[in-house]
Structure 1
Amino acid sequence: MLRCLAFLLFLCPISISAVHGQPKARHNLTFDRLPVVWDEALPLGNGTVGALIWEKDHRLRFSLDRADIWDMRPMKGLHRKEFSFDWVRGQVLKNDYKPVQEYFDAPYDREPAPSKIPAGALEFELPGNIRAVSASVSLENATCEVHWNNGLKLTTFVHATQPVGWFRFENAAEEIKPVLAPPPYQARIGNSVTPNSLIGDDLARLGYKPGVVKKTSNEITYEQEGWGGLIYRISVRWKKVNATTTEGAWSVSAHYPGKNASGASKILAAAFPAGMKTAFASHAAWWNDFWQKSAVSVPDSLLEKQWYLEQYKFGSVAREDTPPISLQGVWTADNGRIPPWKGDFHHDLNTQLSYWPAYSGNHLKEALGYLNHLDANKANYKRYTRQYFGVEGLNVPGVTTLDGTEMGGWIQYSLSPTVSAWLAHHYYLQWRYSMDREFLKSRAYPWFREVATFLAGITRKDENGLRQLPLSSSPEINNNSINAWFTKNTNYDLALMKFVFKTAAELARELALEKDAARWLALYSEFGAFATTGNDELMFAENLPYHESHRHFSHLMAIHPLGLIKWEDGEAARSVIKNTIRSLETVGPALWCGYSYSWSANLYARAKDGESAAKALRIFAKAFCLPNSFHANGDQTRSGYSTFTYRPFTLEGNMAFAAGLQEMLLQSYNGAIEIMPAVPSEWQNISFRRLRAEGAFLVDASMRNGRLETVTIQSEKGGKTKLMLPLREWNITAGSSFRVADAGDGYTALDAEPGAKLVLTRK
């Protein structure tokens, strides 16, 4: 009977797939008109190139972007003789901080570059008497369609793996040809707003000479020279398929001195003859595989749709072999200005949050793009570490260009000594979710070893024998004033340093490097306790409680994402978690951004509070997203969720949203798999497929009428874990490759061989 049941239950993922499967039409982006501003446009992308589809001045517009088109001129002022952590500390101690701000903070706002820059645009002149009646993006196959009231139809997509975009106009009375619109590098906008990191300066300030546009009967090429030998090219070609149909393709290429890259025209010459139909087949196959990695179904249609939109955006901006997700990914602002915060890589929150959903969302391959970028720029980071901090080991600037070079701006964070420690967390997650021992040996542990070496070299023992940084900070508390520096470790820096040494020891033991492990544990023991109030609330720093609303929850890194203080650790830890979260609620969200709500959902989930987690996610989706689902930082509804009502688009809030919902459905950070640990009581029917747990376990689960009914677990690499379900309440079907035992306290011990599969059904 059990074997028969096993056979039937092994088919369970198929039925779940039928329920969840690919995203449905209800998850798509749909509008009854074309958007008329760039940041509400229909987004397409593949991690290398991207396009935004919208209408500008009654013309159809494709805003084109490529991830590696950068102006990388050195930031003025950063490499003067004063560029050292010791000099900054001296200025702080003698209370003369203005020179630091002028040398290292001010240039970020004052100078137009270094910066991510846009590629250009294609525009299509359409008959003046027609109007768009529908515009949509099908998430299932990452394809945009636009329909006009005269029957004209546009189909367009950015190929999933090639730097090529395709378009097809059908039912056209006459041939529709593109016009290439270069960025306005030579013409100022004339806006009187003072440029800053949020409102970028005119592109004209970059000082580029005009690009060269060449045209033939069915092709246009554009070549633009940037700074330092950069040349980028756009090529578009098209053909008439029949009397009423035009088909075309475009590509963007970037060329840096000493680096070989295929030109856009050559790329199109290879791709164009096969045609759009052939290209679509491989494009759709990639997205089909992407959507098979994981799926969720929850009884809140707003949150479920937002999760699929976030997965779509992640699939559009993250690849193993492309630059990592910057602030706007492959959708750089198309408004004639340098993008918000220069479209750069912010490692004091933004890049980290952007990859949170990759791990339990089962997109480890795409997450490798982040770590590949970090490893590729190690030599540059080590140069910076020696130059600025004067010690060996590895640290990473908090704000960087494409090649990892520091950019300055609020140096408490852009030049923070613990940036590489937070980045180390992602190496750890990649290891724990993949259990790839070669990755552990050749990449994860070496990163930890270098970071630990740096932190050991820069910290010193105080009068109490506790290790302290020369200066500490907590993003972005007290902004960039002298008061943003602390002479004792903040909870932010302390959490990151404790995490590095504790985890370095764990990884060293995993590799049988006992001498290393002992060294890291000895250093770990030299750091003090976290600063808390008398009410068990984590503070920013000693003598500085969480006294005012702030967008960055830097003081509670120990709770999430680092998990140094865990709900499962007992009542003392639970008191800290509950009271710290309560302090956030008491002070209120006046100065929160959208990503604050996404992060708070993750925190609530770690506190097993599903109602509050879902509420935070609903506020994010309703109030902090533009109609195309882009996170706009400020409260777009002006409903009092934040006093920030501006709309700079950045991606980290979107990705942290997806991670928050996943955290509600599956947790595994404590050495055990917990199914639906933080779901609202009113959520009676929930299911998910192929979410990934630490230990390289893939999990399916289904709840019906408030009762968890089925759980399927598959082990990729083999190994042991625990399942937070009492064995006595479940029928278990397991082959000889999956050993199961009652572990007590409501846990079931699992011991799997590689490829083992286990199915549990409620008795």
Structure 2
Amino acid sequence: MDKDSSILRYYKPAKEWTEALPLGNGSLGAMVFGRTEYERIALNQDTLWSGYPRMETTPGSDVYFRKARQLALDGKLAEAQELIEKNCLNNWSEAYLPLGDLWLDMDVEGEITEYTRTLDLETALATVEYKAGGARMSREVFVSHPHRVLALRLSGEKEFSFTLRMTSPLRSMLITEPEMLLLEGECPSLEDLERQFSDQTYIYSEKPEERGVQFRAAACINLSSGTVDKPDSGAFRVRRTKEAVIFFACETSFNGYNRHPYLDGKEYRQACADNLRKAKALPYEELKEAHLKDYMPYYARVELDLGSANRGGISTDQRLLDYQQGISDPALPTLIFNYGRYLTIAGSREGSQPTNLQGIWNEQFNAPWHSNYTININTEMNYWPTLPCNLREMMEPLLTMVEEMVESGRKTARDHYGARGFTSHHNTDLWRKTSPVGTLHNPGCAVFAFWPMSSGWLCRHLYDYYEYTGDIAYLREHGYPVMKEAAQFYLDLLVEDQDGYLICAPSTSPENSFTLPDGRRCSVSQTSTMTMGIIKELFGNCIQASEILGEDEAFRTELEEALPRLLPFKTGSQGQLLEWYEEMKETEVHHRHVSHLYALHPSHLISPRKTPELAEACRKTLEIRGDDGTGWSLGWKINFWARLGDGNHALRLIRRQLRLVGEGGVNYGAGGGTYSNLFDAHPPFQIDGNYGAASGIAEMLLQCEDGKLLLLPALPDEWRDGSVKGLLAKGNITVDLAWSEGKLTECHLHGAPATVSVLCQGREWEATVQP
């Protein structure tokens, strides 16, 4: 079998981090370089963040917010923005940090030939094979979720020797025990705001109340033959073996978002040692079998076949280059779709933290944007494919995080806005920060910092989870109570505009600005289209949830009275959907954010079937914005075009996203693409584009709208023949489809017995869901 849609293959070791191959179990992440003389495995653990719980707000901000609101309503937008930036912001979020590196210094003899390294998405196994002086050497690596360890098996036709060592950029010390190599350390406790974005951004406090997350990382070895020298200088020296199995584990003192990691941390040293000892006591094949039994059923839930040109033997980076030259490779979009599913399973498991800007993989001590949770699009995008790709278990970390944000979000709502309920802004972190990030007196930062809308957006994931799974107990006990508090916040912020409509004022559109008539750049408007779209959707979902649960009639009535009074969507002079309260001069016509199309996707407030005129306005907006953009922006545009039913244009964006990009630092003005390991290039690396592309492909094949299933709603001409099995539709319906010559030939729906309306290629019928 060619496996060109399920294997990443390369014929040289990774030089850059974005060439290495990612492994993970939700908590422990690893990047395998596959080098021959000195192997590097870059490591992460999902709770290694700077800081500790603080729940910071800016008391008195609500007074200035109300003043800014009146200024905005009076049309004094620049003055409103200045007031907000001087009085209503707070400190930056904390940062996700790298654990360090596991090194193998290999004694290589002879010329290296026949080199290959692979990542098999079906098994989550990374392999490295080559000949050294004519003798075959091989490595196999995986990260086990059941056993919470990384396992690495080295084997050779001839005896080999190597040295095992560990390093970390965090404050730490190496300890050698007879059977274990230990790395004991801690995360920095505070950010030094005076030296922000320098090489000395973080500081370590000696005060117990300011100490950060503590950790232990440990490695040990099983040998089939040979010897291990007495540990010395923080390393193990292995001599003359034909097989060695290395185990690595890491545990931390993190004990919850609201518990101090030093004063009230959990036990982690013994837990780390126990994980290693349990793994070491098992035969390697038994450990591997447990890993496969855990991982493979998740991955196997969905199967996509768009055809094959039998290019699986060609290196993945060469396939990317060839694809841009027009060489047929129908399995390459399937590969990026499968990769998104793989990264979901590897990066987000029950009990882990949600995937952040880089999933769980980050090598930089000062990562771009702190590698945090950017919740004005990026974190949400990470979870777009999760439910459609039938991975409901992987939603748990996000759902839990949203619930955990409520406590801090209530304080932010009260102190910053004088409102009920809870809110959050454009960043959060391990400690569930909800206040607006950005230092006070920082001109221009309202463009990203002043945006209390993420709580509403995140709530759509809670309701999505109910709609896809039908889990009414979850809705009653978890989803609806959080949704209600978010809706209460927005109800308190609503105010009448000059025409008597209710608006949320003032407001921004994430990270974009406009030009005022006097030439000044501004980002604060009376309201914005995205703001109103989020509120409309949240109110509608709360109304539905209240009806389903048969409770909260008084609150439901309050929402029902407000909903029709919310400001309608508007179109502009070019037929485009307006982004702001009024038509304003674009500062960047081709800006990467197209957030005002939220109502088209991920929401269903606008669609070609329900609101054709507004859908056409969305199309015009996309044409004006253009097809280029950063990696995640391209991912979102794939979904937009799928919702508009234009599969050919969606495929054009997929092709654009699959442009090979070399490592070049932060340069998101250059347009996005894909690194050779298929990580999304913002650039730099952000994982959201991977998830956005996977979601877009799923949207091209299946959509759910108002209780109906839309089959093949955006099938490109190039995908004339194909099949997909296992996609999940709302109502907990599993969908299997096949098509030939662009026409649907098979449709099988599985789930609780029911009848559902199906639309496909201009035809509508009632289909039976089979158990």
TM-score by length of 1: 0.82
Task: Using the TM superposition, give the Cα deviation of residue 616 of structure 1 relative to its aligned residue in structure 2, in angstroms.
Answer: 0.8
Instruction: Say whether 1:496 aligns with 2:534.
Output: yes
Q: Is the partner of 1:465 in helix, strand or coil? A: coil
Task: Using the TM superposition, give the Cα deviation of residue 483 of structure 1 relative to its aligned residue in structure 2, in angstroms.
Answer: 4.9
Instruction: Say whether 1:361 aligns with 2:389.
Output: yes
Distance 1:346 1:616, change over 3 A: same
For 2:626 and 2:658, the matched residues in 1 are separated by 19
Percent identical: 20
Instruction: Say whether 1:138 aligns with 2:120.
Output: yes
Task: Specify which of 290, 293, 297 is matched with residue 301 of structure 2.
Answer: 293
* Matches for 1:47-446 after TM superposition, within 5 Å: 47-54=26-33, 59-72=38-51, 79-81=57-59, 83-84=61-62, 86-87=64-65, 90=68, 95=79, 101=85, 108=92, 114-129=94-109, 131=112, 133-150=115-132, 151-171=136-156, 173-183=159-169, 185=170, 210-226=171-187, 227=189, 228-242=211-225, 243-255=241-253, 256-257=261-262, 258-263=264-269, 264-299=272-307, 300-334=330-364, 337-406=365-434, 408-409=437-438, 410-446=445-481
Letter in 1 for 2:717: S
Distance 1:664 1:353, change over 3 A: same
Letter in 1 for 2:332: L
Q: Do the aligned partners of 2:13 and 2:36 also contact (CA within 8 Å) in 1?
A: no
For 1:487 and 1:45, the matched residues in 2 are separated by 43
Q: Do the aligned partners of 1:36 and 1:55 also contact (CA within 8 Å) in 2?
A: no
Q: Do the aligned partners of 1:43 and 1:52 also contact (CA within 8 Å) in 2?
A: yes
* Matches for 1:664-703 after TM superposition, within 5 Å: 664-703=700-739
For 1:502 and 1:340, the matched residues in 2 are separated by 36
For 1:160 and 1:625, the matched residues in 2 are separated by 32
Instruction: Give a deviation string over 1:684-743, Cα, whole Å, max 9, x none.
Output: 211000111111111101112333211111124x555311259xxxxxxxxxxxxxxxxx
Q: Do the aligned partners of 2:59 and 2:415 also contact (CA within 8 Å) in 1?
A: no
Distance 1:105 1:262, change over 3 A: same
Provide structure 1 residue ranges, at least 5 long, that are not aligned to the other structure: 1-18, 186-209, 639-643, 727-744, 758-763
Letter in 2 for 1:523: A
Distance 1:625 1:631, change over 3 A: farther
Q: Do the aligned partners of 1:385 and 1:392 also contact (CA within 8 Å) in 2?
A: yes
For 1:312 and 1:383, the matched residues in 2 are separated by 37
Task: Specify which of 525, 543, 547 is matched with residue 583 of structure 2.
Answer: 543
Q: Do the aligned partners of 1:550 and 1:589 also contact (CA within 8 Å) in 2?
A: no
Distance 1:84 1:224, change over 3 A: farther
Instruction: Give a deviation string over 1:451-483, Cα, whole Å, max 9, x none.
Output: 111111122223432222231010111299995
Q: Do the aligned partners of 1:631 and 1:653 also contact (CA within 8 Å) in 2?
A: no
Q: Do the aligned partners of 1:37 and 1:56 also contact (CA within 8 Å) in 2?
A: no
Task: Specify which of 650, 657, 675 is matched with residue 620 of structure 1.
Answer: 657
For 1:329 and 1:479, the matched residues in 2 are separated by 32
Task: Using the TM superposition, give the Cα deviation of residue 98 of structure 1 relative to its aligned residue in structure 2, in angstroms.
Answer: 5.9
Match of 2:604 in 1: 563
Deviates more, 1:87-96 or 1:164-173: 87-96
Distance 1:484 1:512, change over 3 A: farther
Distance 1:554 1:152, change over 3 A: same
Instruction: Give a deviation string over 1:174-205, Cα, whole Å, max 9, x none.
Output: 3333111121x5xxxxxxxxxxxxxxxxxxxx
Q: Do the aligned partners of 2:220 and 2:246 also contact (CA within 8 Å) in 1?
A: yes
Match of 2:644 in 1: 607
Q: Do the aligned partners of 2:149 and 2:248 also contact (CA within 8 Å) in 1?
A: yes
Task: Using the TM superposition, give the Cα deviation of residue 526 of structure 1 relative to its aligned residue in structure 2, in angstroms.
Answer: 1.8
Deviates more, 1:656-665 or 1:325-334: 325-334
Query: How many pairs does the alignment contain?
Result: 672
Instruction: Say whether 1:748 aligns with 2:709.
Output: no
Name the Cα RMSD after superposition.
3.1
Task: Using the TM superposition, give the Cα deviation of residue 498 of structure 1 relative to its aligned residue in structure 2, in angstroms.
Answer: 0.9
Task: Using the TM superposition, give the Cα deviation of residue 746 of structure 1 relative to its aligned residue in structure 2, in angstroms.
Answer: 3.6
For 2:402 and 2:681, the matched residues in 1 are separated by 34
Deviates more, 1:575-584 or 1:298-307: 575-584
Q: Do the aligned partners of 1:237 and 1:250 also contact (CA within 8 Å) in 2?
A: yes
Provide structure 2 residue ranges, at least 5 long, that are not aligned to the other structure: 190-210, 226-240, 254-260, 308-329, 439-444, 675-679
Instruction: Give a deviation string over 1:391-422, Cα, whole Å, max 9, x none.
Output: 11021232011021147134454442221111
Instruction: Give a deviation string over 1:420-457, Cα, whole Å, max 9, x none.
Output: 11111111211111111111212222122111111111
Task: Using the TM superposition, give the Cα deviation of residue 749 of structure 1 relative to its aligned residue in structure 2, in angstroms.
Answer: 2.8
Instruction: Say whether 1:596 aligns with 2:633.
Output: yes
Distance 1:578 1:480, change over 3 A: closer
For 1:505 and 1:98, the matched residues in 2 are separated by 37
Q: Do the aligned partners of 1:508 and 1:517 also contact (CA within 8 Å) in 2?
A: yes
Match of 1:660 in 2: 696
Task: Using the TM superposition, give the Cα deviation of residue 290 of structure 1 relative to its aligned residue in structure 2, in angstroms.
Answer: 0.8
Distance 1:222 1:649, change over 3 A: same
Task: Using the TM superposition, give the Cα deviation of residue 95 of structure 1 relative to its aligned residue in structure 2, in angstroms.
Answer: 2.5
Task: Specify which of 517, 534, 557 is matched with residue 518 of structure 1.
Answer: 557
Q: Do the aligned partners of 2:657 and 2:672 also contact (CA within 8 Å) in 1?
A: no
Task: Using the TM superposition, give the Cα deviation of residue 534 of structure 1 relative to its aligned residue in structure 2, in angstroms.
Answer: 4.0
Q: Is the partner of 1:214 in helix, strand or coil? A: strand
Deviates more, 1:166-175 or 1:472-481: 472-481
Letter in 1 for 2:491: A
Match of 2:228 in 1: none
Higher normalized contact order (CA 8 Å, seq sep 6+, divided by chain length): 2
Q: Do the aligned partners of 2:630 and 2:682 also contact (CA within 8 Å) in 1?
A: no
Distance 1:525 1:578, change over 3 A: closer
Letter in 2 for 1:619: R
Q: Is the partner of 2:162 in helix, strand or coil? A: coil
Deviates more, 1:415-424 or 1:429-438: 415-424
